[in-house]
Amino acid sequence: MRGSHNRRTVPFRRKREQRTDYRQRLTLLKSQKPRLVVRKSLKHMQAQLVLFEPAGDKVLASAHSRELKNSGYNCATSNMSAAYLTGVLLAKKAKDKTIKHAVVDLGLYARSLKSNLFAVVKGARDGGLDVPADESALPSDERVAGAHVAAYFQEGVMCGIAVPALTPFLLGRNLLRRHSYLSPMSPAPNSVTYMVARAATWRRSSNAFSGSLYRSARYSRYFG
């Protein structure tokens, strides 16, 4: 006699691994247009034009932020400006292959408006590729051009901490001793940025001191 309980259906492997949303994929494939697939890593941005085929997806054009250095771009390849230029580069390659239309495929990434993912979409649209997207989701021209970064450096501030106070930590050196590193551009000794820098240096110095005590106690058994 057959049991009355429901049989369990095993999902597809890529769905179990949380790598593919098949409902979203089916919606995109119904458009019968190439998909503008945008992916990111810690250091780079990547965009591809992918077309569905029964034998497997076919990549029609691809652009990587690493390729921007060949065009004279010598800055970081993970910021919004690099993401925008990656989209422009992909649109240029698509134009050479007479590809005019595409739909956005952001995968399982969170749809954060005006993020680097949408900067790639904006670059592809400005490059001549017809990609449907809401204008409110795209970053502004000033943001894409890196005006906010230039403003930070003009004010001498980066990530809320004064650049001279952050420089010692970037160099891996403890220059807060005797306040010898202070300059007219550095924060005042009673300012918040100075206290944050001093606390970080004190924490690292205390960890190094406790480690030296541990090593001394450990080796004293053999060399005492």
5-9, 133-137, 155-159, 182-186: range with lowest mean pLDDT: 182-186
Q: What is the pLDDT of residues 68-126, one digit of tens each?
A: 988 888 888 999 999 999 999 999 999 999 999 999 999 988 889 999 999 999 999 99
Is there a domain that residue 93 lies in?
Answer: yes
End position of a domain, from candidates 151, 175, 195: 151
Instruction: Tell me whether residue 86 is in a domain.
Output: yes
Percent helix, strand, coil in the chain (nearest 5)? 50, 15, 40
CA 134 to chain centroid, in Å, comes to 22
Location of structure tokens 């809401």: 134
Please state the domain count of the chain. Answer: 2
pLDDT band, very low/low/confident/very high, at 155 (cuts 50, 70, 90): low
- Predicted confidence (pLDDT) at residue 187 exceeds the cutoff of 90: no
Query: What are 130's strand-pairing partners?
Result: 101
Among 133, 151, 169, identify where a domain stops: 151
Which residues contact residue 175 at a Cβ distance below 8 angstroms, ignoring those fewer than 6 apart? 168, 181
- Measure CA 206 to chain center: 33
Name the β-bridge partners of 161: 158
Cβ neighbours around 93 below 10 Å, total: 18
Kindly state whether residues 96 and 194 are assigned to the same domain.
no
